[in-house]
Structures are given as C-alpha cells and as structure tokens.
Structure 1
Amino acid sequence: MADALLVEATHPCLPGHFPGRPVVPGVVILDRVVAAIEALHGPLGALRLPQVKFVQPLLPEQTAAIRLEPIAGQGPRWRFRVERDGTLLASGEIAAASPASA
C-alpha cells in the first residue's frame, strides 16, 4: 500500500527549516506516515518509534510515496518506507500501545 506525500512550498514549517534552502522536517514526514496508518486503522493510542532513519532530504513540492507493512505478531506495529522515484528517503517502525478509545 502506498500513500502520496507532498508538502507544498507554502507550508509554515519551511521558512525556518532552512532559510533560503527549505527541507521538509522529519517530524512532518513522520506526521504524514502516522496519518496514513490512522487512515487505515483509525486513531492510534500512544506511539513508539523504535527505529527511524532519514537518509535523503525531501524538498517542498516533491512527491514521495509512503509504503506501510504491518508487522505480524507484535501488536499494532508497522514498518514504513518513504520513497521518491525509487530512492529511499526515510524508513523505520511505528508501534502503537493500543488503539485510542473513542
């Protein structure tokens, strides 16, 4: 499964990260990964990120793909990859303590 990720050049995080040469902050990428998981599974409870690696920058207006893979037998947990044109930008794991109560 893949979701598209695009951060517009007008996003409020960009002027400070970095002035004159904006790069999408890792926290924005992770927020979009969590949103992709929640779109499939509903709101998540407390989260852990046991492993996250950023290997290439994502620039404003570049489209990337979020790929999710459930990790069986470990509770609500997913591996993720963020890729642009076949190039890995970020990867890791996200684990939820339990689904959030409604």
Structure 2
Amino acid sequence: MYKLCYFVPETHLEATKVALFEVGAGRIGDYDSCAWQCRGQGQFRPLDGSQPFLGRQGEVERVDEYKVELVCEDDLIRVAIQALKAAHPYEEPAYEVFRMEDLE
C-alpha cells in the first residue's frame, strides 16, 4: 500500500480527486473515495522554457492550494499517478509517494 500526497489549486481539487477515485485510489476496506485535505499556500517560480498554468516566468508566484492525501494499492500506484497528472492543471504537479508498512 502507498500513500499519495499532492498539492493542487482549489479550481482542480475535485477533478483530481475524482480522477484518482475512478482508477481505484482512495479505497480502504469497504470504503472508497477516502481522502484527507487541508488548505495552505504554495509558491514557485516558473523558469525560462516553462508554460505555467499560473504566474509568469521569472516571478515568484504564491497561490492558495490544497494538500490531498489518500491511499493506493500497490498495483494501482502508477496508473493513479498518470491519472493525477492528466487531471492536474500544472505542467509539473508536486506530489509525494510513500510506501506504507502493515504492522499487524
């Protein structure tokens, strides 16, 4: 099992979650569409050659974003990352993948 965490502007919060749920991420036992989210502020500076969804090249952009966390089965993690990238508006979405251990 993996935990997938990603950062997304509010405009695409629901679309990214739906895309992940549709490929099977966010399932825990007899429950699906499971996720945790919180609001925060991200920042980045688009460099030469970038095509930013928000901001301008060479300028630091600060934006209200959500951090979303959900679990994903081993055999679905690569397809989940592809679904996230397809639904996410950023050219380079920020995400993290953590391997989870079963300690029972």
Greater share of residues in helix:
2
- Structure of greater relative contact order (alpha carbons < 8 Å, 6+ residues apart): 2
Q: Fold match, TM over 0.5?
A: no
Greater share of residues in strand:
1
TM-score (norm 2): 0.29
Q: Which of these two proteins has the greater Rg computed from alpha carbons?
A: 2
TM-score (norm 1): 0.29
